[in-house]
């Protein structure tokens, strides 16, 4: 077994020790220059944080440790294919290589809706009430931003 | 202007005060029973956290305040259409109603890649190196999870 995937899988197993009361069976590791920068598991239930998936937790830790939101030189290992939230976070972080173990179909088979979210994300009005209001006011800040020098 | 969208827009403006060095021009508010539970703006640069979008920050705050990962009874107001990371976080949090100001095309016009991520999220191998390894090992925990009683 790949040595880093083994660590990601061990992270996932940490929630088993608590009978999955702290979160689901998911773990992730971020590696840079062949060294582990951060490892994490799902803590949604423990932290009352629906965003606290393994990959998000690992990205947040790595950013904090490397003092950068840009993780370009990092590789992510995750015990399961990232959900759309985590996949987008990976893209925002500039990570380019991801190794995953279980598939999103495997996640669906144990009751997680990753696969479903992928299926509706570009048609979200079929699932959410998404309503556009007050753009005439909110657009003003975007217009100011586009004129500002920024590091973003 | 809607009173809650006005607060979301005011949050977005907080980054303008710092010339957008702390994060992009985005703000969000979470409301329950017509009261504001949490408000937040983008702090990606300030926090070295690529996940610290306004909506994610607001969801994390609301979960912490309400002591629940389940925000079913909440409504989210955001100054811009959520990116795929934030939209998925909204779905995971069980929020069902979202009011947004600017569109994802507006975000693209000022240099943010929300719209691009939507376009490739279901074909992520076109952008990322996504490699499946060691599923024969990682699947074992899923099999154990499926046999466990859980609150998840």
Predicted complex ipTM: 0.96
Q: Is the CB of A63 less than 8 angstroms away from the CB of B45?
A: no
How close A140 comes to chain B (CA, Å)? 10
Q: Grade residue A150 by pLDDT with cuts at 50, 70 and 90.
A: low
A123-136: per-residue pLDDT in tens? 999 999 999 999 99
Interface of B with A in 60-119 (CB under 8 A): 60, 63-64, 66-71, 79-81, 83-103, 106-107, 109-111, 113, 117-118
Decide: B81 and B102 in contact? Cβ < 8 Å. yes
Q: Is the CB of A56 less than 8 angstroms away from the CB of B59?
A: no
Burial environment of residue A84 by CB neighbours within 10 A (0 to 12, 13 to 18, 19 or more): buried
Can you spell out the DSSP letters for A60-76? HHHHHHHT-S--TTEEE
pTM: 0.96
- Which residues pair with residue A39 across a beta bridge? A29
B61-90: per-residue pLDDT in tens? 999 999 999 999 999 999 999 999 999 999
A48-71: per-residue pLDDT in tens? 999 999 999 999 999 999 999 999
Nearest CA in chain B to A83: B88
A105-126: per-residue pLDDT in tens? 999 999 999 999 999 999 999 9
Is some CB atom of chain A closer than 8 A to the CB atom of B48? yes
Q: Does B149 have pLDDT greater than 80?
A: no
Answer yes or no: A55 catalytic. yes
Angstrom distance (rounded) from CA B25 to CA B12: 5
pLDDT of residue A149: 67
Mean pLDDT to the nearest integer, B112-119: 95
| Interface test with chain A among B10, B84, B99, B105, by most A beta carbons within 10 Å | B84
pLDDT of residue A34: 98
Rg over alpha carbons for chain A, rounded to the nearest Å, is 18
> Nearest to residue B52, comparing CAs of B80, B86, B20, B29?
B86
pLDDT over 70, % of chain A: 97
pLDDT over 90, % of chain B: 93
- Identified catalytic residue from A55, A105, A137, A143: A55
């Amino acid at each position: 077994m790949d040595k880093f995937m083994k660590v990601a899988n061990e992270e996932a197993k940490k929630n088993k020790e608590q009978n999955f009361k702290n979160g689901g069976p998911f773990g992730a590791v971020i590696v840079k220059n062949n060294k582990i920068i951060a490892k994490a598991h799902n803590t949604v239930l423990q932290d009352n944080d629906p965003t606290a998936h393994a990959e998000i937790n690992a990205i947040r830790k790595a950013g904090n440790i490397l003092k950068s939101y840009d993780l370009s030189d990092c590789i992510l290992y995750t015990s399961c294919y990232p959900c759309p939230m985590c996949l987008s976070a990976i893209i925002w972080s500039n990570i380019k290589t991801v190794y995953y173990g279980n598939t999103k179909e495997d996640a669906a088979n144990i009751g997680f809706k990753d696969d479903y979210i992928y299926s509706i994300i570009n048609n979200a009005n079929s699932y959410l009430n998404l309503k556009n209001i007050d753009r005439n006011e909110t657009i003003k800040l975007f217009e100011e931003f586009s004129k500002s020098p920024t590091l973003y």
